[in-house]
Homo-oligomer: A and B are copies of this chain.
Amino acid sequence: MGGVMIRRTVFFVSDGTGVTAETMGHSLLTQFEGLAFQTVTLPFVANTERAIAAREQINATALADGIPPIVFSTMIKDELRAVLRDVNGVFLDFFDAFLGPLESAFGVASSHAEGKAHGVSNIASYTARINATNFAMANDDGSNTRDYGQADVIMIGVSRSGKTPTCLYMALQYGIYAANYPLTEEDLEADALPPALMAQQSKLFGLTIHPERLQQIRHERRPNSRYSSAAQVTYETRRAESMLTRLGVPYFDTTHCSVEEIGSRVLQALKLKRRVHP
C-alpha cells in the first residue's frame, strides 16, 4: 500500500514487423498475473547498425530501471542475434530455441533469411485475404442479402454482439467469406428470420452476449438511450437466444471471448475451409 508498482520493461525486437515477438511475449507474460510491464516494440531491426542501436537502447533501459529488461526476440539472421545476445537483459530468442531441433528433424540447414515470415510468398493467400475482406465489408449491415450464396458463414446477432470485428478478423486471418446480419426489432418480434437467411440455414452462426456487458458497450455508443437501456438489452438478447435455439442455429456467448477466440470457434464449429494457411 502506498508503494509504487515496479513495471518491468519488456522489449519485443524483430527484423520483421515484431508481430510474432509480440504474440509470443504476450502469451507468456499473461502467465504472470501479479506483475506489471511496460512494453516497447523495436521492429525492422534488419542490419548490424540497427541491432547495435537496439542493444544500446535496451542497455540504457537496464541502467535507468535498475533491473535488466526482458527481451523477446525474433531475429532470423545469426549475426544480428549475436549482437543482441550480449544485451544486459533476459534474452529470449524464438529462433534460438526452435531452429536447432527443426534442422535436426529435417536434416537440412535453415535459410536464415530475413523477412520471409510475412512476405507475400503466396499471392493466392494475399488475394484470398483481400477478396474476403471486401466481401465482409460489402455484407456487413444486412442491407444486402444478394451475395449470401457466396458466403462461407453468415453471422447473426443483436447490435454490438461482436459480429463485425469477427467477420473482418476471419477474412484477414483465414480468408473466410463472412457476412453479417444484425437482428432487427421486426425479426425479434416476428420470432423469425427473413427468407434470404433461412435459405442458407447451414451457414448461420449466432453470437450472443450477457445483457450487462451489452449494455456497457451500447452505453459507450449512445449513453442513456433506449438502445442502451437494461430493459432493451435484456429483451433483445432473450428473444435472440430463444429464436436461435428454436431454429437450431448454433450460437455462443462472446462475453468473455476475444475476437480471435470467436473467429477460431466459428471456424471449428462449422468446419469451414480456410483459404489462408499457416
Contact = CB atoms under 8 A, between A and B. Distances in A.
Interface of A: 8, 12, 16-20, 22-28, 30-35, 39, 41, 43-44, 68, 70, 74, 76, 90, 92, 94-95, 97-99, 101-102, 105-106, 108, 110-113, 116-121, 123, 126-127, 129-130, 133-134, 137, 140, 160, 162, 164-165, 168-169, 172-173, 216-217, 220, 255-261, 263-265, 268, 277-278
9 contacts: A17-B260, A19-B173, A27-B94, A31-B110, A39-B277, A44-B268, A90-B101, A90-B105, A120-B256
Contacts of A137: 137, 140, 164
Contacts of A25: 278
B260 A19 contact: yes
Contacts of A173: 19
A111 B27 CA distance: 12
Q: How many copies does the complex hold?
A: 2
A218 B210 CA distance: 43
Contacts of A259: 129, 172
A111 B31 contact: yes
A153 B177 CA distance: 27
A16 to B, nearest CB: 7
